[in-house]
Amino acid sequence: MLHELPDDYPDPGQPLEEIKEACGVFGVYGEGEPVAKLTYFGLYALQHRGQESAGITTFDHQGQSHTYKAMGLVSQIFNEAILADLPGHIAIGHNRYSTTGSSQICNAQPVVIPTPLGDLALAHNGNLVNALELRTELAAQGVSLTSSSDSEAIAWAIALGVMETGDWIKGTMAGVRRCQGAFSLALGTPQGIMAVRDSYGVRPLVIGTLGAQKWIIASETCGLDIIGAEFVRSVEPGELIWLDGEGMQGHRWAEPRSKLCIFELIYFARPDSLLEEETLYTYRMRLGSVLAQEAPVEADLVIGVPDSGIPAAIGFAQTSGIPYGEGLIKNRYVGRTFIQPTQSMRETGIKMKLNPLKDVLQGKRVVVVDDSIVRGTTSRKIVQTLREGGAREVHMRISSPPVTHPCFYGIDTDSQDQLIAARQSLPEIATTLGVDSLAYLSEAGMLQATQTDPDRFCTACFNGRYPIPISDKLKRTKLMLECHDPSAVSPCLPR
């Protein structure tokens, strides 16, 4: 059964300026468990990874699949009655941000495809770099795709593999070998669930347990925590894991070449999620500490841009000795509104989300710490808000290097000509933002703070070194500038 909201369901819109992740995925195998409800809470915990649409597919003991998906936030889409209409002991869930494929209900997931062994439900986090080629190949095989997303192409590639091999595991491995790019997958079948990660491991994927032979797949460990599941381990790059009532089977489908997206550590993943047995909150504090060593400044107060800049701001304050305080209050209950603000509200813009504490800021020399700058529009409004709040000086510190290149692996970045650090020098950016000083964390400092092998991370958005080969045609869709010096703060000039 498939339930969808109509095509004219209102589009909730986008925040002012944020780097947007692709998606969050979740899966459950659990006899006797309310799998739809568990998936709801898992998606709720992973809401930060995708806020355009959400969906859940369950499988009952007769092998019948049941799907509900719609545009909007998890809490807006599902209720007790809808979850009760999703029976079974197997579930796959998905939160979506659009990268390949527009923000429409036809691109919402899970994608459900029929096979001779039963339905296949797929939830995908990442982005293929050979999506157009794969779609062309599938069309030549007689497949008629109904959406513009690369996720449907992955699902059909796997489904065709299952049809050819008559086996879920062999067919899935055959299908994903046709895919190039970033993909962390949660797959549901009538017999069990699968977790699959691309050979570079660009996007995270973890396995948890609720007890004997009850398994969870999640993009991050925070999705396990919310339902009381115990973390077992991460899915390795190039690995497929089959989970069912008999246990867990691991299969290597490609040689691993670990290149985890460094922005997962800096910004995307929730600060309470684990990586290498520590929370990302701890790593982000180290980023701020290194930043304070690299770019000291005389000031009275350190503040973070809520919420993602706060851990780095605390680390900056501890190392610099400058007191930490809250200077901006975030309205955490704004959510998404379908009511358009007035013109005057649009002009102030940022105060829908952030409001200054004027008595804290008055007359102070303020260091404001944020995780990144993309186009610079939001950063400029934050600086203006701090000055209006009474700050005497505003010094901006960024806990990552300048973003100079777009992502092709599942981050919804602008084309290169829209990235401020690709077009302007450091002094020019400081002038544009209206700050008294500006400094970014160095790439070496960012990698040093990981306290692990620096070669295991993808840092292409900072230096243009893409680990997964990208065709010239695809590059031209986002690379609009000619790059000369990948190590420079402003490495790109207009053609």
Catalytic residues: 23
Residue 375 gets which letter from DSSP? S
- Report CA torsion sign: 163, 169, 173, 179: positive
Assess contact for 110 and 122: CB atoms under 8 A.
yes
Q: Which residues touch 1 (CB under 8 Å, ≥6 apart)?
A: 64, 65, 66, 67, 85
Residue 338 has which token pair?
Answer: 């379908």
Q: Which residues touch 100 (CB under 8 Å, ≥6 apart)?
A: 127, 128, 131, 148, 149, 150, 151
The DSSP code sequence of 74-97 is HHHH--HHHHHTS-SSEEEEEEE-
Report helix, strand or coil for 210.
strand
- Point out which residues pair with 67 in neighbouring strands: 2, 57
* Residue 114 burial by Cβ neighbours in a 10 Å radius (0-12, 13-18, 19+): exposed
- Nearest of 164, 98, 158 to residue 127 by alpha carbon: 98
Which amino acid would we find at residue 324?
Y
Assess contact for 289 and 316: CB atoms under 8 A.
yes
How many CB atoms are closer than 10 A to CB 13? 11
CA angle 38, 40, 44 (to 5 degrees): 115
Which amino acid would we find at residue 384?
Q
CA distance linking residue 50 with residue 70, whole number of Å? 13
Report helix, strand or coil for 448.
helix
Q: Which residues touch 210 (CB under 8 Å, ≥6 apart)?
A: 30, 33, 38, 216, 227, 228, 229, 230
Residues in the chain: 495
- Nearest of 284, 293, 379 to residue 328 by alpha carbon: 379
CA distance linking residue 188 with residue 184, whole number of Å? 14
CA distance linking residue 16 with residue 212, whole number of Å? 45
Assess contact for 185 and 154: CB atoms under 8 A.
yes
